[in-house]
Amino acid sequence: MQKKYTPALLICRNMKKKFSGVVVPMITPVHADLTIDVPAAEKLVHYLTSNGAAPFILGTTGESASIGRAEKKKLVEATVKAAAGRSIVYAGISGNAVTDSIEDAHHYQDLGADVFVATMTSYYPADADQMLRYFTLLADKVPAPLIIYNIPATTHLSIPLDVVEQLSTHPNIVGFKDSERSVERLERSVSLWKDRSDFAFLTGWAAQSLRALQLGADGIIPSTGNLAPKLYDTLSRSVAEGNGQVAENAQLKADRISEIYQKDRTLSYSLPALKAMMSAYGLCQACMLPPMFQLAADEEKSIKNFTLSQFGDLEAINTIK
The torsion angle over the Cα atoms of residues 13, 14, 15 and 20, rounded to 10 degrees, is: -80
301 included as an active-site residue: no
Check 18, 177, 253, 304 and give the catalytic one.
177
pLDDT at 321: 76
CATH superfamily of 7-243: Aldolase class I (3.20.20.70)
* 49-72 residue pLDDT tens: 999 999 999 999 999 999 999 999
pLDDT at residue 116, as a whole number: 99
Catalytic residue at 281?
no
Task: Name the stretches of the chain with pLDDT < 50.
Answer: 1-15
- Could you tell me where the DSSP H helices lie in 194-311? 209-215, 229-240, 244-262, 267-280, 297-311
Closest CA to 250 of 266, 280, 230: 230
User: What's this model's pTM, rounded to 2 decimal places?
Assistant: 0.94
CA dist 319 and 200 (Å) reads 28
Q: What is the pLDDT of residue 16?
A: 53
Amino acid at 189: S
94-128 tens-digit pLDDT: 999 999 999 999 999 999 999 999 999 999 999 99
- The pLDDT of residue 297 is 98
Choosing from 5, 108, 134, 149, the catalytic residue is 149
Question: Helix 69-83 vs helix 98-111: angle between axes, to the nearest 10 degrees?
Answer: 30
Tell me, what's the pLDDT at 86? 95
Which pLDDT score is estimated for 36? Answer: 98
Give pLDDT, residue 1: 30
